[in-house]
Structure 1
């Protein structure tokens, strides 16, 4: 075998490796690792705020890292920076979610003590409210990150968000149902990425929907 001469440059295949199957595998592994890291960070962020004051800043920070951050950058510092910077606003805008969650839990406990047609009717209502709340929850981190509006204006928009994009709402519910089913069948998935995966997938759909809303009518009025 002869060595390449000075007028015969060595072929650079690094770009081909990056776009080839090995590059695809490496990008996939980086994505999976990032989802697991962010899932751990959400847990740590919730614990750092004593759960009640840590959950919503953690969810907001995780959404920022997953959808707005640099995929090549470690998520640890950006997460904690976003957690700290958005702590007050996230907790303020998260109060209604705690209230609705407590109300749904109380209603479900009351339903267990009832029977007959009344129980069936209330169950339907509870399912509808729960589904609407799930869609609002999917919108919540992207809306909080994207718009700097008052709490009243933000929540007025959030409450209307499922009706503003029924297709996005249905897609969100499908994603949440599939992720819930996978977590039930494979508890390890729920442990490693049960928060970050649905947060990432629904966040992409919500972000596309918000882009279309802003293109047509501009950001929500404040």
Structure 2
């Protein structure tokens, strides 16, 4: 006999709340969309990791896209990416909580430092539009090597390289994504460790790095869209 307080259709209690569906869709989008934007932005920007300001300003002056459009693509990508990291943390948290937590915190710290590098890029664009000069080159070199930018660079390497690397390992250990996808995320973060200190051409290394990251993030986005976990954890009337 059915008790008076229980509804007749228990299946309705297993429906996933709309806000969880919207949240998962948003996180899934943020896991994938930033990387095509960043790839296009970095390919068209030329080498933004040169040894001196003269090369940086000359590279920006020869960009194939308008500087504002290029900066907008990169900025939008960097704005969405932290939400993608949060989604990855949620996928790995149940089975690899420590790696997911540390990787998530480091990733967000690394993302905070990108504001400084966006300002550096904007300054380089302005210098290229005004015309290269010895004063601009000296200012670029001074700005790029001062204490603040050096600290931001260290935090960026620790956060934006180390954080997602740990997230990739956590996702693999949690079996949230295939091992090949986790390996792609890890490899995508190892490449900048080699490329940046060696001043390798960022218009080549960055697209390759973010392409690997995109390859590993697509399975994570599909995993985020699965609602099985919410369905299993939905409250049931007994």
Q: TM-score, structure 1 length as denominator? A: 0.32
Q: Which has the higher contact order (CA 8 A, sep 6+)?
A: 2
Q: TM-score, structure 2 length as denominator? A: 0.31
